[in-house]
Amino acid sequence: MMTLLDMGKYNFFVWGSMALFGVMLAVDFISIHRQRKQLSRQIKSRQRRQQS
């Protein structure tokens, strides 16, 4: 396993780049879903207030 993951003397740079790629896209993915939930909750509560 360790030989498979070994990038010679460039371990930090290669795996650091891959981690950055994964983390940044994961943050984007989470933020769009959180934004969506917040927005629909906000619109629904606004509609309820207008109806009552």
Partner 1 sequence: MNKIVKFYHEMGSPPSFYRITGYWLKPFFVLALALTVYGLIDGLFFAPPDYQQGDSYRIMFVHVPAAWMSLFIYAIIGVCGLIAFVWRMKVAEAVMMASAPIGALFTALTLLTGMLWGKPMWGTYWDWDARMTSELILLFLYIGVMGIYSAYDDDPRKAARLAALVAIIGLINLPIIRYSVEWWTSIHQGASISLMGGNSGIKDWSMLRPLLVMALATKFYYLYSMLHRARNYLLRTEQNKSWVMRQLTEQ
The site for partner 1 (CB under 8 A) is made up of 4, 7-10, 13-14, 16-18, 20-21, 24-25, 28-29, 32-33, 35-36, 39-40, 43-44, 46-47
Least Cβ distance, residue 20 to partner 1 (angstroms): 6
DSSP 3-state assignment of 4? helix
- Closer to partner 1 by CB, 4 or 52: give it: 4
For every residue of 9-52, DSSP letters joined together read: GGHHHHHHHHHHHHHHHHHHHHHHHHHHHHHHHHHHHHHHHHH-
Least Cβ distance, residue 26 to partner 1 (angstroms): 11
DSSP 3-state assignment of 7? coil
